[in-house]
Structure 1
Amino acid sequence: MSRMTRRLAKPSARAPLSSPTSTKSANQSIFDYVRENGRTYHRYQAGAYPFPNDQSEIERMDLLYEILKVLFKGKPHFAPLKHPRKVMDIGTGSGKWAIEMGHKYPNCEITGTDLSPIQPEWVPNNVKFVIDDANEDDWMVEPDSHDYIHTRVLLGCFQDFREIIAKAYKYLKPGGWMESQEYMSTVYCDDGTMRTDNKFAEWTKTQDQAAMSIGRPLRIANKLKRWYEQAGFVDVHEEIFKLPVNSWPKDPQFKMLGRFNETQIYDGLQAFSLQMFQKGLGWTKDEIEVYLVQVRKSLSDRTTHAYHRIYVVWGRKPTEEELAQR
């Protein structure tokens, strides 16, 4: 194991740094998090990401990581990777996926990028984390250089996720793969048990309205396959998983997944609402907290058989020979 490497990305000056200590001395401000409403938010490119980066949010993200790991039957990826040498994880968050990939592919260089330096200090030798904004034109890597680029649960992070797909296409090697594992914010119900006045479903619609108001759309998961194909990817695949919002299912595994999913949603409701509702809808913190009381009760109602859809989409950049034949 080695100390992590963080690199602060700026338009004017970008320099590799060897440890959290040297990063901090080089640019203290990235650790001076923005404080709002009792939560902390990233300082670098402040305001670009509308969700907190504090310990409560890290724990929620880690729980969601474990939920998806079970839902995907232990698969960290669905793209058919063969001896990858360079992998990038966009919006790595707490870095758990990048670290798992570092263990799975010890001869591969894994780079996780994020706006917040919240990843663990000790990581495998082949894993590094970079403080960077994926919205920037320059990802600090060479075009045609990566075997695989991964995104996971980035709804609400970008004005237009198609730009991220286009950049990934640029930086992938011919024949390389991109994959997105994305949470669809819409609440679904197949058996008519969800009432039209369901407060949790209403909250998702209100959140969607707020997200659109600030230019950070949430409903991107069901569009990914089409966007991949429009960007030029071939062999594009899509798998859709159902994830219950609480422990209503009879199946023991899905009951367990629903129980944990209810916990991570319950713990995240405030984080998902504060900045979006304040900036997008003009609500006060007190108004948001009062509103969420009924939303939490609705979330825990096991007579409503609600679920979210998790979309996994992966596609391959054509080889040079395939491009020549077009």
Structure 2
Amino acid sequence: MSQPNPNERIQVDTSDEDSVCDADSIADSTLSINSSVRDYYYENGRRYHAYRQGLYPLPNDEEEQDRLAFIHHLFRLLIGGDLYRAPITRDRRPERILDIGTGTGVWALEMAEYFPDAEIVGTDLSPIQPNFAPPNCRFFVDDAESDWAFTQDEAFDYIHVRALCGGIADWKRFLQQAYSHLKPGGWVEVQEYDAWVWSDDGTHEQAVKLQEWQKLLDSSSLMFGRRMNIAPALAGWMRESGYANVTDDIYKCPVGSWPKNPRLKEIGRVGKVTLYDAIEPYTLALWTRVLGYSSQEAQEWVDQVRAELLNTSLHTHVMFHYVYAQRPVDR
């Protein structure tokens, strides 16, 4: 896998029409995941976790699990199919791995297959993971913002965090907890994306509603106390927390099949589905809980932003960050 170059301009393929260009085709593209959900409540027509109710603004229903499946696929596509970027096998194979905010548990389950001799632990606010899992993989309902209950004897070789933007109030405290639960020489990796859309040719400025939406998303998530657009700050927070060998691998993810490059074209198709599907869950709770909109008004925002996103003349992209760092061996 070549090193990322977030400054590289992506060539536009003007001869190809976006294969994911209407609402029906977007909806038909979603995946189906079996889940076991026990605790939930309903708001704005979507289902949310009941444990620590209201702390996390995104739902946990089947529709959201389908979205998480696409996000998992996209995170892997961007780095050539890998599950992680940190050099976790450079010195020794990991024995204990923690997946914070495991969601449907798919990342933890795949890591359990890759590392059959390692113990994989996944935690989340929602019990939406499968009832069955390999013997080396376990799931727990837990709040990552509370004090972690693992003992020093249960320290981890690798801690993985993905797509928790909007779910953590104090990232510095969160990263310090991760640091204290790593073995000396162990790694933490946070995989996040900017909650912001860009373009190389300025076409993102034509998406007036999308531009307004992302500004409101940023301000409302700040008011909510759990900011969405935190990816660019992660590396700095890790350095402040005492981590060594901090690396921020940044990948430019196209939104739509407009790139000429075949690999980026495929990534763009998946990227468009994931952004389209993210508009509603990112909007509903924050618009109604924080901004005071009615459910109908919030849904109108969703419809307008989605309609604008389907404009095939937009050559937009989102930056994905794979930020990893190591606890020093001598600490």
Q: TM-score, normalising length from structure 1? A: 0.86
Name the structure 2 match of 1:183: 193
| Aligned-residue offset at 1:201 | 2.4
| Aligned-residue offset at 1:133 | 0.1
How many corresponding residue pairs? 293
Alignment of 1:111 onto 2:127: no
Structure 1 spans left out of the alignment, 5+ residues: 1-23, 25-29
Counterpart code for 1:142: Q
Superimposed CA distance per residue, residues 7-42 of structure 1 (whole angstroms, 9 cap, x where no aligned partner)? xxxxxxxxxxxxxxxxx9xxxxx8231111221111
Alignment of 1:165 onto 2:175: yes
Contact 2:197–2:204 (8 Å) recurs in 1: no
Q: Distance in 2 between matches of 1:194 and 1:86?
A: 43
| Aligned-residue offset at 1:196 | 5.5
**Pair 236,143 (structure 1): closer, same or farther in 2 beyond 3 Å:** farther
| Aligned-residue offset at 1:268 | 2.6
Name the structure 2 match of 1:262: 272
Name the structure 1 match of 2:88: 81
Q: Distance in 2 between matches of 1:262 and 1:237?
A: 27
Superimposed CA distance per residue, residues 232-265 of structure 1 (whole angstroms, 9 cap, x where no aligned partner)? 0101111100111222222222222222222222
Alignment of 1:280 onto 2:287: no
Secondary structure of the residue aligned to 2:110 is helix
Alignment of 1:130 onto 2:137: no
Report the aligned-residue RMSD.
Answer: 1.6
Counterpart code for 2:81: G
Q: Distance in 2 between matches of 1:200 and 1:229?
A: 33
Contact 2:148–2:177 (8 Å) recurs in 1: no
Q: Distance in 2 between matches of 1:122 and 1:144?
A: 23
Secondary structure of the residue aligned to 1:123 is coil
**Pair 300,139 (structure 1): closer, same or farther in 2 beyond 3 Å:** farther
**Pair 142,260 (structure 1): closer, same or farther in 2 beyond 3 Å:** same
Secondary structure of the residue aligned to 2:148 is coil
Q: Distance in 1 between matches of 2:287 and 2:179?
A: 34
Counterpart code for 1:295: V
Q: Distance in 1 between matches of 2:307 and 2:259?
A: 18
Q: Distance in 2 between matches of 1:54 and 1:198?
A: 30
Percent identity at matched positions? Answer: 39
| Aligned-residue offset at 1:63 | 1.0
Contact 1:143–1:170 (8 Å) recurs in 2: no
Alignment of 1:60 onto 2:67: yes
Q: Distance in 2 between matches of 1:257 and 1:98?
A: 23
Secondary structure of the residue aligned to 1:195 is helix
Secondary structure of the residue aligned to 1:81 is coil
Contact 1:183–1:308 (8 Å) recurs in 2: yes
Name the structure 1 match of 2:23: none
Q: Distance in 1 between matches of 2:285 and 2:209?
A: 20
Secondary structure of the residue aligned to 2:228 is coil
The within-5 A match list for 1:242-261 is: 242-261=252-271
Q: Distance in 1 between matches of 2:286 and 2:102?
A: 21
The within-5 A match list for 1:233-248 is: 233-248=243-258
Q: Distance in 2 between matches of 1:104 and 1:45?
A: 33
After TM superposition, where is structure 1 displaced by more than 3 Å over at least 4 residues in a row? none
| Aligned-residue offset at 1:144 | 7.1
| Aligned-residue offset at 1:76 | 0.8
| Aligned-residue offset at 1:283 | 0.7
Name the structure 2 match of 1:212: 222
Counterpart code for 1:125: P
Contact 2:150–2:181 (8 Å) recurs in 1: no
| Aligned-residue offset at 1:122 | 1.6
Q: Whose RCO is larger (CA < 8 A, sep 6+)?
A: 2
